[in-house]
């Protein structure tokens, strides 16, 4: 993902945490805040030390980024959101991460199905 699609600054993370809504499932927690002036969504990732060592955490982040990239056309464009991976994500294959992330994004109404009608 390009840098323009990322939430990077600590102040931006804090604003999403403090002012945003949150949704969760067993694998992920998602916080989001609406920003109508924005041309596209931005995402921040948080994978804590409970998930594993640095190699494991980076692998989980790569899988999350790949999943978000696959579903980028179905994501709302007017939001900043943060994905927090829970410890149970450490051993999941990419397909499981994709399905669990899609589930929690649907709960938050960030992911919108395409209508093929």
pLDDT in tens, 35-55: 888 888 899 999 999 999 999
User: Which domains are seen in the chain, by residue range?
Assistant: 8-106 (3.30.230.10)
- The mean per-residue pLDDT over the stretch 53-65 comes to 94
What's the pLDDT band for 3 if we cut at 50, 70, 90?
A: confident
Whether the pLDDT of residue 57 is over 50: the answer is yes
Q: Which residue has the tokens 């594993």?
A: 52
Signed CA dihedral, 84, 8, 113, 60: sign only:
negative
The mean predicted confidence, pLDDT, of the chain is: 89
Please state, in angstroms and rounded to a whole number, the distance separating the CA atoms of residues 33 and 12: 10
pLDDT surpassing 60 at residue 116:
no
- Identify the band that residue 69 occupies on the pLDDT scale cut at 50, 70 and 90: very high
């Amino acid at each position: 993902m390009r840098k323009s699609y990322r939430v990077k600054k600590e102040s931006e993370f804090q604003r999403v945490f403090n002012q945003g809504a949150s949704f969760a499932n067993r694998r992920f927690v998602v916080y989001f805040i609406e920003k109508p002036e924005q041309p596209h969504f931005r995402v921040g990732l948080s994978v804590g030390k409970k998930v594993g060592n640095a190699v494991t955490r980076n692998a989980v982040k790569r899988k999350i980024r790949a999943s978000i990239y696959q579903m980028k056309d179905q994501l709302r464009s007017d939001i900043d959101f943060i994905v927090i991976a829970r410890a149970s994500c450490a051993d999941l294959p990419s397909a499981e991460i994709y399905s669990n992330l899609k589930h929690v994004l649907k709960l938050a109404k960030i992911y919108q199905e395409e209508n093929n009608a």
